[in-house]
A = this chain, B = another copy of it.
Amino acid sequence: MGLFFTQNKLKGIMAKRDLTPKSESMSKWYTQVIQQAKLADYSPVKGCMVIRPNGYGLWEHIQQSYQPMLSAMRVKNAYFPLFIPMSFLEKEADHVEGFAPELAVVTHAGGEELTEKLVVRPTSETIMYHMYSKWIQSHRDLPLKINQWNNVVRWEKRTNFFLRTTEFLWQEAHSAHATQAEALTTMYDALESYRKISEDFLAIPVVKGRKSESEKFAGAVVTTTIEALMPDGKALQSGTSHHLGQNFSKAKAFNISFQDSSDTLQYVWQNSWGLSTRIIGALIMTHGDDEGLVLPPRIAPTQVLVVNATKDQETLDTVATITDVLIQEEVRAEANTEIATSMGWKINDAELEGIPLVIVVGARELASGKVSVSVRYNHEKISMDIATLGQTIPKLLEDIQLALFDAAKQRQEALTFEASTFDDFKKIMTENRGFIKAFWCEDTACETAIKEETKATTRCLPFTNHEGDVEEAHGTCVHCGKPATHTWLFAQAY
């Protein structure tokens, strides 16, 4: 008996599941696979989704993987109020202009109309910096680096599971520094931490770079970003790290100042950076296939499912022993020997949910000291010695992790193009989508025109190193032909 269903049987079940092949329509597949794998569901509140245990488990593993990086940057977790007085947002002009159209507003509470309307936080700069102003007095209080894992609300007209929801979960870290140099270093370090969580854990290759003036965060001096490319050729902004300069600290209403070591009054330099449940959307699209999710081992809540093909006691004991051995080797292994569900359904569910490996223990193979190991991402079946699973399985999981990253990297490279004329640019965008590298004059009017004609936006000016250096060159703008000194990355975006 084949480990996964034969093609015909599989199709039968898939038909029952009604999972549109990813290759046919990624957007249909995306919505269906999320519901069928029980990652999330629609909620009765427009634009808000329910994150079900399978989806929340992914977020918990992203949190557990990213938290050590925050701690290494000496960022401490805290919690600030959900509600922000409307007047606070107005303290920084660009900030309120950016967020005003997306706000949810509490006007009544405790049975009474409120004298000042409260905004449900779209982000916490203003309420946090109000407190920073109180807490920071001396250079000894710096740097101050605080992170929140919380929920925020931005009223969206068009929503999509994980990628764009009215309420979403994220981390938002906010730092205050004595010098701009220190703040900038921290901004690049935070961006690098995002590259790590994305590439090293989620196996999603990204391009690091700087946002254009029109694409930067409302209130920032510089916004840096990690940009991923989905298999359909659309880019997904996956995490952003901002330098806010002294925009907030010098705003009269905040006034975040400190006495430096020579007793001179200075204003702090600030950063903020955030990564949200949106990245789960990137994870799903990057690795999934026609049969369902494919989870990279380092982020998979369950890395190995161990099931029994036969019901004899020896087989059941072996399932338990293998599971224990793997758990001791710090593999997230789980046994499923329930009788109520057939083995076929267990394997089929594991496939849909993207569990990296399924080990099937059956009496026949057991006689020769072997089990059948099924690899989710490439559908390979490997017969492996039971005695050495404690060594071979962790190694196999690491190999899968790297293979998934390499495959995604190759797809990204195959979808990265260069355009020197606007005709080429339009042709690529129409025929292939993907990333386009092109000279741009850095004039917002040109950027807007390109967007109007091709739906492509500037994703970033790519960095050549950790410190945010960029390649200088001499060329002409792909749109207007004026002199240009940088090659920007363009794409249609989620």
When the two chains form the complex, which single residue of B77, B130, B340 contacts A60, counting CB atoms closer than 8 Å? B77
Q: Are A49 and B169 in contact (CB under 8 A)?
A: no
Mark the stretch among A99-107, A213-221, A244-252, A404-412 that contacts chain B: A99-107
1/0 per residue A102-135: CB within 8 Å of B? 1111111111000000101000000100110011
Contact with B along A168-189 (1 / 0, CB 8 A): 0100000000000000000000
Decide yes or no whether A160 CB sits under 8 A from chain B.
no
CB closest chain-B residue, reference A88: B44
Asked if A83 is at the interface of the complex by the 8 Å CB criterion, the answer is yes
Residues in B neighbouring A17, C-beta threshold 8 A: none
A285: chain B residues at CB < 8 Å are: none
In the complex with contacts A48-B81, A81-B45, A101-B105 CB distance below 8 A: no
Interface size on A, residues (CB 8 A): 56
**Chain B residue with Cβ nearest A126:** B44
- Pair A50/B85 contact, Cβ less than 8 Å: no
A109 proximity list for chain B (CB < 8 A): 103-105, 155
State whether A43 touches B127 (Cβ < 8 A): yes
B131-A50 in contact (CB<8A): yes
Interface set of A (CB-CB < 8 Å, partner B)? 41, 43-45, 48-53, 55-57, 59-60, 76-85, 88, 100-111, 118, 120, 127, 130-131, 134-135, 140, 146, 150-151, 153, 155-157, 167, 169, 340
If A60-B77, A83-B153 are given as contacts, then 20 extra A-B residue pairs at C-beta distance below 8 Å, sorted by A number, are A43-B80, A44-B88, A45-B84, A45-B127, A48-B82, A50-B78, A50-B81, A53-B76, A53-B77, A53-B78, A56-B76, A56-B78, A57-B76, A57-B77, A81-B167, A83-B167, A104-B106, A107-B108, A109-B155, A110-B157
Can you pick out 23 interface pairs between chain A and chain B where the beta carbons lie within 8 Å of each other?
A41-B131, A43-B131, A45-B81, A45-B83, A45-B84, A45-B85, A45-B118, A45-B127, A48-B82, A50-B131, A51-B80, A53-B76, A55-B78, A56-B79, A82-B82, A82-B151, A100-B111, A103-B110, A104-B118, A105-B107, A105-B108, A106-B120, A110-B155
